[in-house]
């Protein structure tokens, strides 16, 4: 099976922060892979912008090194890389000073009718300044879009400042607020699973679902990102965006069509139906954790504090929480969310736990009947697994066993699983906003998150320590077990 590519018109793709970590690890490799797939028209330009004084040639050399470092050897070839280099250009700009902007603008004005995307992969405090300059230089035309990378603020007020500043220059339908989780194949497959099959949707409600679990586990630590992370913490870094978006896609009503307005309207309804967690409830329904030293994959690793600087910190690297959606479909069905760094494995999944059968006709000798579970694995080994009860084969009476009906996409489809950024970057070029966050969604997410942080502060809720390489603090196990449920472990089937 081959994957299809949809052709696009020639475009200029400008990356502010063109030599930064995101550009090197994700943006340039993704553009390269789209180029290899024949999706980037030859006249298109990818223009890196940053404070480093580099020539086009030096930028190309850096880009080639980044591709080599971040792509598997089997997709990186010298020939493809050389071809890709021809699309790359560079402008040396300090966005806070006027030097260099005129030359930059002249280069873009040389192709006035092209689709023009500005990807802001810089510190968010610069978003407003960059937008202002682009406006002043008349670079914002009809076929222009701007992409805003997270973090979009650190609370509702700071998010509003950014959105106001960018909104003065770009209209809402030109603003692509990226959450790369929405570009992951399995996340989009969740839409297909729910809305292209009749099997699940009639059962997708409180009459048949007992609870939902969403886990986004990482085995890596904060690494070199301590400066940013220590001010953010897992709640803002992961829950406010990625996990909440997964909740929305799992819980939303069927949109009338797979189109930006319709999808985002439905997600917003979920965000607005999330039961607030405040000072009164925060200790009962949330758990904070911070990793200590331990071992991951058999390798000793330092604790968070030693990794960042050695100074005490009360930033959480793990969060578990129970959230409720106050609407007809989900009343009484808790969503348990957890995410953390330095957990035993990189494993992200959504587990839909159905209710058990109302009565067993088989008697005690058949063994217990486990509830069906639909497990949507985001990474690694993207796929979908449905656990079913069947009769254990062979003679000896009726004994029931739980078996997985397993579809691992890599085995089913012989195509490379694209990186989330590949899909999202091309959606930007095509002007398709469906998988991007609208301003009101971001605001609603912060409105739900801010009281949790405030509650932690007022109640002095400190993170529990957990050893690196474990599944977080024991309090997170207690959080779900208090309700008579357990976190799903992958070897359970």
Please report, as ranges, the residues that interact with ligand BG6 according to CB under 6 A. 150, 180, 218, 237
| Distance separating alpha carbons of residues 206 and 203, to the nearest angstrom | 8
Question: Considering the complex, what minimum distance in angstroms separates the CB of residue 259 from ligand BG6?
Answer: 25
Question: Considering the complex, what minimum distance in angstroms separates the CB of residue 261 from ligand BG6?
Answer: 25
Is 490 in contact with 379 (CB distance < 8 Å)? Answer: no
Q: Which is nearer to ligand BG6, 40 or 347 (CB)?
A: 347
Question: Phi/psi of residue 60, each to 5°?
Answer: -60, -40
User: What are the residues whose beta carbons fall under 8 Å from the beta carbon of 94, sequence distance 6 or more?
Assistant: 51, 100
Return the residue nearest ligand BG6 (CB atom): 237
Helices (H) and strands (E) in the chain, counts: 17, 17
- Two structure tokens written together for 370: 């486990």
- Two structure tokens written together for 179: 């959450």
Q: Which is nearer to ligand BG6, 237 or 349 (CB)?
A: 237
End-to-end CA distance of the chain: 28
Is 267 in contact with 433 (CB distance < 8 Å)? Answer: no
Mode of pairing for the β-strands spanning 335-340 and 209-217: parallel
3-state secondary structure of 340: strand
3-state secondary structure of 13: strand
What Rg, from alpha-carbon coordinates, does the chain have?
Answer: 24
Q: Which is nearer to ligand BG6, 143 or 226 (CB)?
A: 226
3-state secondary structure of 428: helix
Question: Considering the complex, what minimum distance in angstroms separates the CB of residue 180 from ligand BG6?
Answer: 6
| Distance separating alpha carbons of residues 446 and 397, to the nearest angstrom | 56
Q: Which is nearer to ligand BG6, 60 or 180 (CB)?
A: 180
Q: What is the largest CA-CA distance in the chain?
A: 83
Q: Which is nearer to ligand BG6, 218 or 443 (CB)?
A: 218
Question: Considering the complex, what minimum distance in angstroms separates the CB of residue 395 from ligand BG6?
Answer: 47
Whether 70 is a known active-site residue: answer no
User: What are the residues whose beta carbons fall under 8 Å from the beta carbon of 43, sequence distance 6 or more?
Assistant: 10, 111
Q: Point out the catalytic residue in the list 92, 180, 211, 242.
A: 242
Question: Considering the complex, what minimum distance in angstroms separates the CB of residue 225 from ligand BG6?
Answer: 7
Q: Which is nearer to ligand BG6, 26 or 114 (CB)?
A: 26
- Two structure tokens written together for 126: 């610069």
Q: Which is nearer to ligand BG6, 24 or 180 (CB)?
A: 180
Question: Considering the complex, what minimum distance in angstroms separates the CB of residue 33 from ligand BG6?
Answer: 16
| Distance separating alpha carbons of residues 49 and 328, to the nearest angstrom | 49
Q: Which is nearer to ligand BG6, 180 or 342 (CB)?
A: 180
Q: Which is nearer to ligand BG6, 33 or 64 (CB)?
A: 33
Is the Cα torsion angle 91, 92, 98, 103 positive or negative in sign? negative
Question: Considering the complex, what minimum distance in angstroms separates the CB of residue 100 from ligand BG6?
Answer: 30
Question: Phi/psi of residue 335, each to 5°?
Answer: -105, 120
| Distance separating alpha carbons of residues 259 and 255, to the nearest angstrom | 8
Question: Considering the complex, what minimum distance in angstroms separates the CB of residue 241 from ligand BG6?
Answer: 7
| Distance separating alpha carbons of residues 75 and 434, to the nearest angstrom | 29
Question: Considering the complex, what minimum distance in angstroms separates the CB of residue 218 from ligand BG6?
Answer: 5
| Distance separating alpha carbons of residues 283 and 461, to the nearest angstrom | 7
Number of Cβ atoms within 10 Å of the Cβ of 392: 13
Catalytic (active-site) positions = 242
């Amino acid at each position: 099976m081959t994957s299809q590519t949809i052709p696009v018109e020639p475009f200029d793709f400008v990356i502010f922060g063109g030599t930064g970590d995101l550009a090197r690890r994700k943006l340039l490799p993704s553009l390269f892979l789209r180029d290899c797939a024949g999706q980037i028209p030859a006249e298109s330009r990818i223009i890196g912008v940053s404070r480093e004084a580099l020539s086009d040639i030096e930028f190309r050399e850096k880009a080639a090194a980044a591709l080599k470092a971040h792509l598997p050897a089997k997709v990186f070839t010298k020939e493809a890389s050389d071809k890709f280099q021809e699309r790359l250009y560079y402008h040396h700009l300090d966005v806070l000073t006027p030097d260099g902007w005129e030359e930059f603008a002249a280069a873009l004005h040389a192709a006035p009718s092209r689709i023009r995307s500005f990807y802001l992969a810089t510190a968010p405090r610069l978003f407003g300044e960059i937008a202002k300059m682009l406006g002043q230089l008349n670079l914002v035309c009809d076929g222009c879009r701007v992409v805003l990378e997270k973090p979009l603020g650190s609370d509702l007020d700071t998010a509003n400042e950014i959105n106001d500043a960018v909104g003065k220059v770009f209209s809402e339908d030109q603003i692509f607020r990226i959450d790369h989780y929405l570009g992951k194949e399995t996340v989009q497959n969740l839409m297909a699973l729910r809305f292209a099959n009749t099997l699940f949707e009639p059962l997708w409600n409180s009459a048949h679902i007992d609870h939902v679990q969403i886990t986004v586990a990482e085995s890596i630590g904060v690494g070199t990102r301590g400066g940013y992370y220590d001010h953010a913490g897992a709640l803002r870094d992961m829950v406010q965006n990625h996990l909440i978006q997964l909740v929305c896609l799992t819980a939303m009503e069927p949109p009338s069509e797979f189109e930006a307005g319709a999808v985002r309207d439905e997600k917003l309804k979920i965000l607005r139906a999330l039961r607030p967690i405040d000072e009164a409830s925060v200790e009962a329904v949330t758990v904070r954790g911070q990793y200590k030293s331990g071992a991951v994959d058999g390798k000793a690793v330092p604790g968070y504090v030693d990794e960042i600087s050695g100074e005490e910190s009360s930033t959480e690297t793990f969060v578990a929480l129970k959230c409720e959606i106050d609407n007809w479909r989900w009343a009484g069905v808790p969503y348990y969310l957890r995410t953390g760094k330095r957990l035993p494995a990189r494993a992200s999944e959504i587990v839909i736990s159905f209710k058990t059968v109302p009565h067993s006709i088989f008697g005690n000798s058949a063994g217990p009947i486990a509830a069906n579970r639909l497990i949507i694995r985001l990474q690694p080994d993207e796929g979908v697994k449905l656990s079913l009860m069947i009769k254990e084969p062979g003679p000896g009476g009726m004994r029931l066993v739980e078996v997985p009906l397993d579809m691992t996409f890599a085995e089913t489809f012989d195509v490379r699983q694209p990186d989330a950024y590949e899909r999202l970057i091309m959606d930007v070029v095509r002007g398709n906003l469906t998988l991007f966050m609208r301003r009101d969604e971001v605001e609603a997410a912060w409105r739900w998150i801010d009281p949790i942080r405030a509650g932690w502060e007022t109640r002095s809720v400190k993170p529990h320590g957990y050893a690196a390489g474990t599944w977080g603090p024991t309090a997170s196990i207690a959080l779900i077990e208090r309700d008579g449920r357990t976190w799903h472990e992958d070897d359970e089937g």
